[in-house]
Amino acid sequence: MAGVQTSALCIAVSNAGGLGSLPCAMLSADTLRAELQTIQAGTSNPYNVNFFCHTPPEPDIARNQKWQQALSPYYRELGLNPDEFPSGPGRTPFSADLAEVLEEFKPPFVSFHFGLPKPELLQRVKAMGAQILSSATTVEEALWLQANGCDFVIAQGLEAGGHRGHFLSHDLSVQMGTFALLPQVVKALDIPVIATGGIANANGVAAAMALGAKAVQVGTAYLLAPECTTSVIHRKALASPKAQHTALTNLFSGRPARGIVNRVMREMGSLSDCPPEFPLATAGIAPLRAKAESLGLGDFTPLWAGQNAGECLEASATEITHRLAQGF
């Protein structure tokens, strides 16, 4: 949920009886500290902090040029100079610096995406007393996470919005819908499994419990809540019939993530070999996104959403949480 929420949603959900979460993939150490202060002032209930833990790739000049070339026509169309093509990482992985901030706050739950951080870094988080969570997109990944120190595994079905969490295989064909992945992970593991992917209302929660989940992770269903920082463009797309058609795309970051199909996805193909490796694709498309958004267009905006985006409620996070809880 990086980019669409801050501590406000985390606090509201934790106060409503859920486990609120703070996405930290795009936060500096200083912002993380400020956000954690806000959370601890705002709720006395448990909360979670979420980090990406990818290995930053070496910049690849040839691939960045390919990306520049592919986006140049759009740069020109929007009156931008394609020779001024930014590069650099779009998201930061979990690090010793961030762990140092966590040590000040000792968050009760810490979740990771794309596997787990290096053993010594993970050990440092466990030493704070935090329960560790991470996402699995296959049974193999779930077993790996259990063997490598997770206390809970999040089974991420293909319906889920945002970045796929895969880390052992990049072959998308091995990934499964929630209806298949969830019971298989439950059967394979000894530790509790959290379901995610297409769970957007109380019926979805009840179905996930029937398939063996001990808890659910819900993202998309909160995107229209006032506590989210979802942009007006993103909100409009979510509330429109366009939200019925999502697809996995690597155009916005370099890794497959599910969002509402928009112009750049239609024209370049959602899964393309043009973008450089995650997260290096982000920088080059950012100026297009900013310029288009200034014109009121979401043509280059990642409109992250799961396959049940139509269930988003324009309601407070408290009400959304209470409604979901009826499925337990």
Region binding its own copies by CB under 8 A among candidate stretches 17-25, 41-49, 79-87, 303-311: 303-311
Q: Is 307 in the site for its own copies (CB under 8 A)?
A: yes
Q: Which of 78, 180, 286, 313 binds its own copies (CB under 8 A)?
A: 180
In whole angstroms, the minimum distance from the beta carbon of 251 to its own copies comes to 14
Q: Is 201 in the site for its own copies (CB under 8 A)?
A: yes
Q: Is 247 in the site for its own copies (CB under 8 A)?
A: yes
In whole angstroms, the minimum distance from the beta carbon of 208 to its own copies comes to 7
Pick between residue 178 and residue 321 the one whose CB is nearest to its own copies: 178
Region binding its own copies by CB under 8 A among candidate stretches 73-81, 124-132, 179-187, 288-296: 179-187
Q: Is 207 in the site for its own copies (CB under 8 A)?
A: yes
Distance CA 53, CA 122 (A): 10
Query: Hey, which residues between 105 and 164 contact its own copies (CB under 8 A)?
Result: 139, 157-159
Distance CA 35, CA 28 (A): 10
Bridge partners for 155 per DSSP: 136, 195
As to burial, measured by CB atoms within 10 angstroms (0-12 exposed, 13-18 middle, 19+ buried), residue 175 is buried
Please spell the DSSP secondary structure of 23-38, one letter per residue: E-TT--HHHHHHHHHH
In whole angstroms, the minimum distance from the beta carbon of 198 to its own copies comes to 3
Q: Is 206 in the site for its own copies (CB under 8 A)?
A: yes
Structure tokens at 4: 């669409």
Distance CA 101, CA 28 (A): 10
Q: Are 318 and 16 in contact (CB under 8 A)?
A: yes
Pick between residue 158 and residue 317 the one whose CB is nearest to its own copies: 158
As to burial, measured by CB atoms within 10 angstroms (0-12 exposed, 13-18 middle, 19+ buried), residue 23 is buried
Q: Which of 179, 242, 313, 316 binds its own copies (CB under 8 A)?
A: 179
With vertex at residue 305, the alpha carbon angle to CA 299 and CA 310, rounded to the nearest 5 degrees, is 105
Pick between residue 82 and residue 327 the one whose CB is nearest to its own copies: 327
Q: Which of 93, 198, 219, 276 binds its own copies (CB under 8 A)?
A: 198
Q: Which of 261, 286, 313, 315 binds its own copies (CB under 8 A)?
A: 261
Identify the CA nearest to 291 among candidates 279, 300, 302: 300
Q: Is 240 in the site for its own copies (CB under 8 A)?
A: no
Residues in binding contact with its own copies, number by CB under 8 A:
38
Bridge partners for 131 per DSSP: 109
Pick between residue 68 and residue 138 the one whose CB is nearest to its own copies: 138
Region binding its own copies by CB under 8 A among candidate stretches 60-68, 120-128, 170-178, 285-293: 170-178
Helix boundaries (H) for the chain: 7-15, 29-42, 61-77, 96-105, 119-127, 139-147, 178-188, 202-210, 232-238, 263-268, 281-294, 317-325
Q: Is 177 in the site for its own copies (CB under 8 A)?
A: yes
- Side chain identity at 45, as an amino acid letter? N
**Phi and psi, residue 36, nearest 5°:** -70, -35
Q: Is 262 in the site for its own copies (CB under 8 A)?
A: no
Pick between residue 1 and residue 139 the one whose CB is nearest to its own copies: 139
Q: Are 142 and 188 in contact (CB under 8 A)?
A: yes
Instruction: Give the interface with its own copies as residue ranges (CB under 8 A).
Output: 139, 157-159, 173-174, 176-181, 183-184, 197-199, 201, 203-204, 206-208, 210-212, 244-245, 247-248, 261, 270, 306-308, 310-311, 327
